[in-house]
Amino acid sequence: MKTLDVKKITEAIRTWAVQVNTDLPKDVEQALEQGRAQEESPFGIYCFDQILANAKLAREEHQAMCQDTGTMVVYCNVGQDLHLVGSDVTQAINEGVRLGYDEGYLRRSIVEEPVFERTNTGDNTPAVIHYNIVPGDQCELILMPKGGGAENMGALGMLKPTAGREGVIDFVVDAVSKAGGNPCPPIIVGVGIGGTMEKATAIAKEALAREIGSHHADPRYADMEQEILARVNKLGIGPQGLGGRVTALAVHINTYPCRVAASGCQHQLPRSAARAHRARRRGELIMEKHIHVPFVAEELADLRAGDTVMLSGVIYTSRDKAHKRMVETLDRGEALPVDWHDQLIYYAGPTPAKPGQAIGSIGPTTSSRMDAFASRLMDEAGLKGMLGKGPRSQAVCEAITRNGAVYMVAIGGTGAAISKSVKKAEVIAYDDLGTEAVRRLEIENLAAIVAIDAHGGNLFETGRAQYAEIDD
């Protein structure tokens, strides 16, 4: 019987944990290039260009492509004729994750328990590990750093057998429609059909690891993959949810036998019309306005949904935990750590900075996570701007109009590129929150798109309406 020292597993995980966060797979890069060629929206083409440029930069500089370096999901397929020796294999995998995230300057995002203290483990462990016993004497490892923006948009449905082919397709298309721009489209959609509830979710996630361009072995399911892809791309969501022809790059279905009375289905996600003069040629957006932050009232009032801007000056980062603390501070009638009048909050949590860097990768997080707190910061603290990704709630949209504020989006999946616009960064509040601490950033020419303006304009609505070909 062949033996394998689990130290080799640790070393493999250590190396690959960095690689999967810094080097975009070639099949995904090619799919992005094909998506760009198919896209018609100037905003969509701009998003593709930024994502592709970011991938090149991250690969060359060995920097995280996205600030959310995810929960590390590991598939460990162990041959039944292989004897693992040396120590506990689970410990070996987690040690590899710990070393890789430390040496690769990757963000640690795992908390010890999910509800109460939520203390960060400090090393991105434990990983979520799936063990499979397979024929042979080899050990195959598959790594998938699963970001929160996509993971949170997953959906599970226990469908009746009579739902059939159309029921499954409708379920997946509806799930993508509801997710909108939150998972950073363009996305890859993984679908698991059959088994039990937990099996459907497991095989859906496995489907994400398939090479783009591959199809289900059964031509009936392969046909379903293509139909779902076509219908998803007719929703008009487009790159980053700003409207366009390409919402998904691929749909991958995995199946498993199920009992006669059930048909489980789980779906996993990996992330306004422009005025004509904005696109001088196909794919080119002109960064029309240079805006200094803190905002000047006249400049702010002049912004419209669809405007492209370059931001310079001082902005601040803040995410869920910091927002919650600030609202609790307002409840107590105490002073906030920042005077938010005329300021802009960037919804971002960076990776650790490498030596010589002002900051690590710092792309936008899902803005809707701050919706429960944003209105109060505008109404009571004078906040005038927010920068993130994805659509906002109706209540937040109304608060933006009420306060003469603005919501801008940066391109999700471009954290390495955005970091180049940050010239200085310092923690100024809640340092115990680590990556979620409030940071003061000095920025120069940070590219953004006005998504929601003070006059009621909403690019998520107008952009999607322009390119939608089906009702959802």
The rounded distance, in Å, linking the Cα atoms of 449 and 242 is 10
Which pTM value belongs to this model? 0.92
Q: How far apart are CA 294 and CA 384, in angstroms?
A: 9
- Residue among 85, 444, 129, 111 at smallest CA distance from 291: 444
Q: Are the CB atoms for 52 and 32 separated by under 8 Å?
A: yes
Which of the following CATH numbers is that of domain 148-270: 3.30.43, 3.30.1330, 3.40.50, 3.30.70? 3.30.1330
pLDDT tens-place string over residues 114-155 = 999 889 999 999 999 999 999 999 999 999 999 888 888 999
pLDDT at 39: 97
- Predicted local distance difference test score (pLDDT) of residue 398: 98
Q: Which of 185, 105, 54 is nearest to 447 (CA)?
A: 54
Distance CA 109, CA 348 (A): 13
CA atoms within 13 A on the CB side of 390: 27
Q: Return the SS3 of 390.
A: coil
| pLDDT tens per residue, range 215-238 | 999 999 999 999 999 999 999 999
Report the sign of the C-alpha dihedral through residues 394, 395, 397, 401, in that order.
Answer: positive
What residues contact 192, with CB distance under 8 A and at least 6 apart? 199, 200, 201, 202, 203, 204, 205, 206, 207, 253, 254, 255, 256, 264, 265, 266, 268
| One-letter amino acid for residue 236 of the chain | G
Radius of gyration for the alpha carbons in the chain, expressed in angstroms and rounded: 23
Token pair, residue 202, equals 């497991």
How many other CB atoms sit within 10 Å of the CB of residue 466? 16
Domain 284-463 = CATH 3.40.50.300: no
DSSP 183-243: T-SSEEEEEEEES-HHHHHHHHHHHTTSPBTB--SSHHHHHHHHHHHHHHHTS---GGGS-
Pairing state of beta strands 406-409 and 438-452? antiparallel
pLDDT in tens, the chain (472 residues): 899 999 999 999 999 999 999 999 999 999 999 999 999 999 999 999 999 999 999 999 999 999 999 999 999 999 999 999 999 999 999 999 999 999 999 999 999 999 998 899 999 999 999 999 999 999 999 999 998 888 889 999 988 888 999 999 999 999 999 999 999 999 999 999 999 999 999 999 999 999 999 999 999 999 999 999 999 999 999 999 999 999 999 999 999 998 765 666 666 666 433 322 333 334 456 668 999 999 999 999 999 999 999 999 999 999 999 999 999 999 999 999 999 999 999 999 999 999 999 999 999 999 999 999 999 999 999 999 999 999 999 999 999 999 999 999 999 999 999 999 999 999 999 999 999 999 999 999 999 999 999 999 999 999 999 999 976 5
Domain regions of the chain by residue span: 1-38+69-146, 148-270, 284-463
Which two structure tokens, joined as six digits, stand for 294?
Answer: 């803190």
* Listed residue (193, 214, 323) closest to 265, CA to CA: 193
CA distance 103 to 96: 11
Closest residue by Cα to residue 77 from 192, 209, 201, 195: 209
